[in-house]
Structure 1
Amino acid sequence: MSGKRPSVVVVGAGVGGCAAAARLAKAGLEVTVVEKNSFTGGRCSIIRDGEHRFDQGPSLMLLPNLFHETFADLDTSIAAEGVHLLKCDPNYQVFFHDGENITLSSDLAHMKPEIEKWEGPAGFGRYLSFLSEGHKHYEFSVQKALKRNFPSVFSMLRLDLLTDLWSMFIIPSLYTRASKYFRTDRLRRCFTFGSMYMGMSPYDSPGLYSLLQFTELAEGIWYPQGGFHRIVEAIVSIGTKLGVKYRLSSPVGSVLLSEDGTRATGVVLESGDELRADIVLINADLVYAYNNLLPETAYSKSLTKKPASCSSISFYWSMDRVIDELSAHNIFMAEEFKESFNDIFKKLEMPEEPSFYVNVPSRIDPSAAPEGKDSIVVLVPMGHLKDDENGQGTKSDEHWNFLVNRVRDFVITTIEQRTGVLGLRDAIAAERINTPLTWKDRFNLDRGGILGLTIGFWNALAFRPKTRHSRIPNIYFVGASTHPGTGVPICLAGAKITTEQMLEDLKMEKPWPKTPPLNQCAKQTGSPLDVVRDNTSGREGWQQFLLYLLIFLGVPYLFNLALREVSGRRCNSL
């Protein structure tokens, strides 16, 4: 590579691949992105029907600081790139089977009476405590997981990380943690359905993921005017200015390897064209890439057995009028809440009565639909494809047509009954649909899982698929199924982690600021008023370590003593 710029070919133009490409180009590498589809963004893309516009995948912007950090590292800002962010207020309308509804907002003045209506006067204090815990989870995730790499289990052996993992990640589920703060099942449901952003059940996802509710309620929900894809367009534009070359409608057939199989030398397109490069960065679905683009190994097969996220049937409706009864974001809760998640994640099916999400982008951004009309997206989560459906599929077209029709009828009836809207079906002028089969075919998503691999404890941090191939050192990964995880802001954080790893391997400088220490104030004025003053001593860490050691050693000892005491009493009684 001496004497010339290192070259990189990026497989896939999802948000992680585009962000990584721009970062690498800024660092001075020669970057080419090849993409299967005729558009960038992957699932974070746009569907159009005349003047109607729909977000194919993500429809709300969470963890905004991770977006702003990406643009700042590229010496610009979201606003400077011509993207205007709109704040969604309220956050959601939540509709229940019994006719009641709750409006969630980042406005505390709104939330106080809303919480107290169901939880009583003490409920608001517990709500604030729930937010406080969510904030701790948020800071832990951002600082200790989303901005660090975990190349091996040994990288997790840090006292601060282990103690936090014990209290935040391992023991309680998200629903269990919410139950500590909310007395009614109604509010427990309200503050746990967000686990679906990670493609997981609130009864199985770690309590750590209350960070999602925290960011919604403390930082708000945002929407880029012109559609979520505007973020991707801006990143692509930045990368193009820095020299990134994009080749769309260019599916990759395989990764080229050296004769001894120890290094990647580029990729072969399905057209037969070869693109040579010093490094290959894969942003395609990781399970698909290991099993279709790379040599088959025991590890590649093991990935197909890892738990995948849910899939969905998604409807995109061009309405011939405005549906005033719906806000920008709406949740319709299943009556049998837990059972519906069991159907999705244990039986891998569509529940008889699912919870579902309805997005009306034209409510927050009028450019999403013609004047006097609405664009509506309905996402109905369901189980991912079973192993025997992953090829051609064992279920017939008739089965899928029947299922889609049943789900559509259920959605329309539920919306009409719970909101009072009349003639919803007749107002649908046109419809587009995604099913698990189309998610799998269009985006090469393993088992049609819309959010990649799930992120339970045994599939996170050092246990998650690595950002670099274990045997081929110049193949790297970025995207939903590798570290740090799924979701647009998480993939942006992953792009930074992976590109920094690549630059370290190349012994090149990172052309963006280092992450500041945890105890550094955001604003540095030089004034003594802004100096961080730590009230804890350096002995605190050792004291905490000794405490955990005593607990670890002492609990079995005390348990053994108790058994001896009980045994002794029985012997004496005889």
Structure 2
Amino acid sequence: MAPRPSVIIVGAGVGGTSSAARLAQAGFDVQVVEKNDFAGGRCSLFTDPTGEHRFDMGPSLYLIPRLFEETFSDLGTSLDAEGIKLVKCEPNYRIVFPDKEVVEMSSDLTKMKKEVEKWEGEKGFEGFLGFLKEGHAHYELSMVHVLHRNFTSYLSLLRPSLIVNLSKLHPFVSVYTRATKYFKTERMRRAFTFAAMYLGMSPFDALGAYNLLQYTEHCEGILYPLGGFGTVPKALQRIAERNGAKFRFNSTVKRVVVQDGKAKGVELEGGEILSADIVLVNADLVWSMAHLYQETAYSKRLEEKPVSCSSISFYWAMKRSVPELGSHTIFLADEYKESFDSIFRDHKIPHEPSFYVNVPSRHDPSAAPADKDTVIVLVPVGHISKALPTSSDWDKVVEETRNKVIREVEGRLGMTNFRDLIAHETVNTPITWGEKFNLHRGSILGLSHDFFNVLSFRPKTRHPTVKNAYFVGASAHPGTGVPIVLAGARMATTQIIDDLGKQTPKEWNVSSSELATHRTGRDAMGGIGLLMALAALFLAIAVYLRQ
């Protein structure tokens, strides 16, 4: 009997835990090495010193449920069977504008009809439905042609099925531009475009296709796993361990061991060598290329690529309940575009920030004592750069940002003494994000998602020059966000299995067309065939014109 192939996975984030579960299921000897003492990476949980207030470190919006369900189904189980109970957040969120007007977003069409027509007039609901229809098209097309297709070379862009549908994804216009087609008021345009922040991008830069996020919010709802978002990677860890995978925490990888152009394992900081046939890196890709592998011209180019924003995040244990705040509340800046430009063009902290407030105890009582609340505030800010250097006075920056948030919360919601309600505070900044999770420039969502950073232009799931080396995570194809990284884990593990000439587990239902996109030569044939057909057409036209 042939020996089981072995794999070392660097990092126990969502991509690492889901990949571990998949590869263990597929018959690999799997060892996951993680620098922290917990699984989940940014998708993890922590508490205040009393242990009574629980916080989600990062993600708090459970979107695109199909990709979560697919992952657990592929693994021969289900969310319910693994003890993950989902609750629906209704309304989706409340958007509070500077003039104190509130727009309530919901998955209830009756409520949305009333809300949209309040601002857009009688025909406004028709525009809303048109917006959802377009978002649905983007959602379904992306599911097939992006989230279940690999892009191993530039020739992958010439895939006939992609070319036929590419224009329908509106890749050359922004989310905001698409919204102007359906909504006439600035208030509604802002309400239906700010979600580009989920990708760490400005709505004036994010590709039009990303209005699929509004579609999934309104048509599938915003869900939340009871016990916190970190229950998802914890469940994936348990599944992996049931299948034989081993997790090694508090173990920092110093480098990937490369011999004769092949990954052979990893070296830990203490000098210990762990050997394996395959190395799959779930740590931040840009950071990993510069620190875990030998520096190359390609890794230097990656470091210069545009990245998503960072954040200053406040985690507040409150002395009492704050009923003025719902599950999800958005505070939008009056200078909407200028605020985003400050973050994404100038890489600074806007003088008037838009920010997001999450109260997990509103939909999950276990997040705080019965008479108190747990509050999380995420303020998007520029990543580490010349405009916002590591040497900044971060205590001052945090204090100024905290003051702005409290001032806006009190002013817009008619509250007083909000600061006095905070019993304990934890803060994350671009610096701490970078230190805790090795995030390049403290960017919380990896590389940007403009056109030249997606599909074939995004770093691949396979290392460009080192054999048996792979990547999964926010900066690898297909991109950022928990459900998207889950899709990326399916993609990376399918590629690993196929590269070794093995069969993917039947539970995954990997189609032949999906599998073909992992094979550079076979995938390129469609593009080469199309180029040859075009060349023949141009030649025929040239011959005809010369007659």
Question: When the two structures are superposed, what TM-score results if normalisation uses the length of structure 1?
Answer: 0.88
Question: Which residue of structure 1 lines up, in the alignment, with residue 478 of structure 2?
Answer: 484
- 1:514 aligned onto 2:513: no
- 1:323 aligned onto 2:343: no
One-letter identity of the residue aligned with 1:164: N
Question: Which residue of structure 2 lines up, in the alignment, with residue 273 of structure 1?
Answer: 272
Identical residues among aligned pairs (%): 55
State the alpha-carbon separation in 1 of the partners of residues 467 and 163 from structure 2.
29
State the alpha-carbon separation in 2 of the partners of residues 444 and 141 from structure 1.
29
Question: Which residue of structure 1 lines up, in the alignment, with residue 14 of structure 2?
Answer: 15
State the alpha-carbon separation in 2 of the partners of residues 128 and 381 from structure 1.
30
Question: Which residue of structure 2 lines up, in the alignment, with residue 450 of structure 1?
Answer: 444
Q: Deviation digits for residues 84-106 of structure 1, max 9, x if unmatched?
A: 00110000000000110110000
Greater than 3 Å deviation, 4+ residue runs = 387-390, 515-518
CA contact (8 A) 2:192 2:214 kept: yes
State the alpha-carbon separation in 2 of the partners of residues 313 and 12 from structure 1.
23
Q: Superposed, which structure 2 residues align to 1:523-534 within 5 Å?
A: none
1:420 Cα offset (Å): 1.9
State the alpha-carbon separation in 2 of the partners of residues 177 and 162 from structure 1.
20
Question: Which residue of structure 2 lines up, in the alignment, with residue 407 of structure 1?
Answer: 401
One-letter identity of the residue aligned with 2:190: R
1:111 Cα offset (Å): 0.4
Question: Which residue of structure 1 lines up, in the alignment, with residue 544 of structure 2?
Answer: none
- Provide structure 2 residue ranges, at least 5 long, that are not aligned to the other structure: 514-529, 542-547
State the alpha-carbon separation in 2 of the partners of residues 333 and 488 from structure 1.
24
Question: Which residue of structure 1 lines up, in the alignment, with residue 454 of structure 2?
Answer: 460
Question: Which residue of structure 2 lines up, in the alignment, with residue 96 of structure 1?
Answer: 97
Question: Which residue of structure 1 lines up, in the alignment, with residue 200 of structure 2?
Answer: 199
CA contact (8 A) 2:348 2:388 kept: no
CA contact (8 A) 1:384 1:449 kept: yes
State the alpha-carbon separation in 2 of the partners of residues 15 and 62 from structure 1.
15
1:271 Cα offset (Å): 1.6
One-letter identity of the residue aligned with 1:163: V
1:156 Cα offset (Å): 1.8
CA contact (8 A) 2:348 2:387 kept: no
Q: Superposed, which structure 2 residues align to 1:142-157 within 5 Å?
A: 142-157=143-158
Question: Which residue of structure 1 lines up, in the alignment, with residue 521 of structure 2?
Answer: none
Question: Which residue of structure 2 lines up, in the alignment, with residue 58 of structure 1?
Answer: 59
1:12 Cα offset (Å): 0.3
- SS of equivalent residue, structure 1 residue 170: coil
1:515 Cα offset (Å): 4.6
Q: Superposed, which structure 2 residues align to 1:340-379 within 5 Å?
A: 340-379=339-378
1:154 Cα offset (Å): 1.0
- SS of equivalent residue, structure 2 residue 352: coil
1:422 Cα offset (Å): 2.8
1:160 Cα offset (Å): 3.1
The range that moved more, 480-489 or 163-172, is 163-172
1:423 Cα offset (Å): 2.1
User: In the alignment, which of 421, 424, 435 is matched to residue 429 of structure 2?
Assistant: 435
- SS of equivalent residue, structure 1 residue 195: helix
State the alpha-carbon separation in 1 of the partners of residues 175 and 388 from structure 2.
31
- SS of equivalent residue, structure 1 residue 304: helix
- SS of equivalent residue, structure 2 residue 484: helix
State the alpha-carbon separation in 1 of the partners of residues 171 and 5 from structure 2.
41
Q: Superposed, which structure 2 residues align to 1:204-243 within 5 Å?
A: 204-243=205-244
- 1:382 aligned onto 2:376: no
One-letter identity of the residue aligned with 2:400: R
RMSD over aligned Cα atoms: 1.7
The range that moved more, 183-192 or 169-178, is 169-178
One-letter identity of the residue aligned with 1:365: D
State the alpha-carbon separation in 1 of the partners of residues 159 and 21 from structure 2.
32
1:516 Cα offset (Å): 6.3
- 1:33 aligned onto 2:32: yes
One-letter identity of the residue aligned with 2:195: G
Distance 1:388 1:350, change over 3 A: closer
Distance 1:516 1:327, change over 3 A: farther
One-letter identity of the residue aligned with 2:499: D
Question: When the two structures are superposed, what TM-score results if normalisation uses the length of structure 2?
Answer: 0.92
CA contact (8 A) 1:388 1:394 kept: no
- 1:299 aligned onto 2:298: yes
- SS of equivalent residue, structure 1 residue 9: strand
Question: Which residue of structure 2 lines up, in the alignment, with residue 556 of structure 1?
Answer: none
Q: Deviation digits for residues 14-65 of structure 1, max 9, x if unmatched?
A: 0001100100000000000000111110000112112100001000100001
Give the number of equivalent residue pairs.
Answer: 516
State the alpha-carbon separation in 2 of the partners of residues 389 and 351 from structure 1.
11
State the alpha-carbon separation in 2 of the partners of residues 414 and 92 from structure 1.
17
CA contact (8 A) 2:9 2:32 kept: yes
Question: Which residue of structure 2 lines up, in the alignment, with residue 394 of structure 1?
Answer: 391
State the alpha-carbon separation in 1 of the partners of residues 301 and 320 from structure 2.
49
CA contact (8 A) 1:45 1:55 kept: yes
Distance 1:313 1:388, change over 3 A: closer
- SS of equivalent residue, structure 2 residue 202: coil
Q: Deviation digits for residues 418-476 of structure 1, max 9, x if unmatched?
A: 11233211000000000000001110000000000011111101110011012112000
CA contact (8 A) 1:254 1:267 kept: yes
State the alpha-carbon separation in 2 of the partners of residues 139 and 307 from structure 1.
27
State the alpha-carbon separation in 1 of the partners of residues 388 and 253 from structure 2.
24
CA contact (8 A) 1:323 1:421 kept: no
- SS of equivalent residue, structure 1 residue 31: strand
Distance 1:79 1:44, change over 3 A: same
1:70 Cα offset (Å): 0.3
Q: Which has the larger radius of gyration?
A: 1
- Provide structure 1 residue ranges, at least 5 long, that are not aligned to the other structure: 519-541, 554-574
1:172 Cα offset (Å): 1.4
State the alpha-carbon separation in 1 of the partners of residues 137 and 283 from structure 2.
33
State the alpha-carbon separation in 1 of the partners of residues 398 and 20 from structure 2.
38
Distance 1:53 1:20, change over 3 A: same
Distance 1:124 1:73, change over 3 A: same
Question: Which residue of structure 2 lines up, in the alignment, with residue 6 of structure 1?
Answer: 5
CA contact (8 A) 1:479 1:485 kept: yes
- SS of equivalent residue, structure 2 residue 88: strand
1:388 Cα offset (Å): 8.4
One-letter identity of the residue aligned with 2:377: V
1:509 Cα offset (Å): 1.1
One-letter identity of the residue aligned with 1:12: G
Question: Which residue of structure 2 lines up, in the alignment, with residue 335 of structure 1?
Answer: 334
1:413 Cα offset (Å): 1.1
One-letter identity of the residue aligned with 1:371: A
State the alpha-carbon separation in 1 of the partners of residues 443 and 486 from structure 2.
20
- SS of equivalent residue, structure 2 residue 190: helix
1:130 Cα offset (Å): 0.2
CA contact (8 A) 2:138 2:168 kept: no
- SS of equivalent residue, structure 2 residue 508: coil
- SS of equivalent residue, structure 1 residue 128: helix
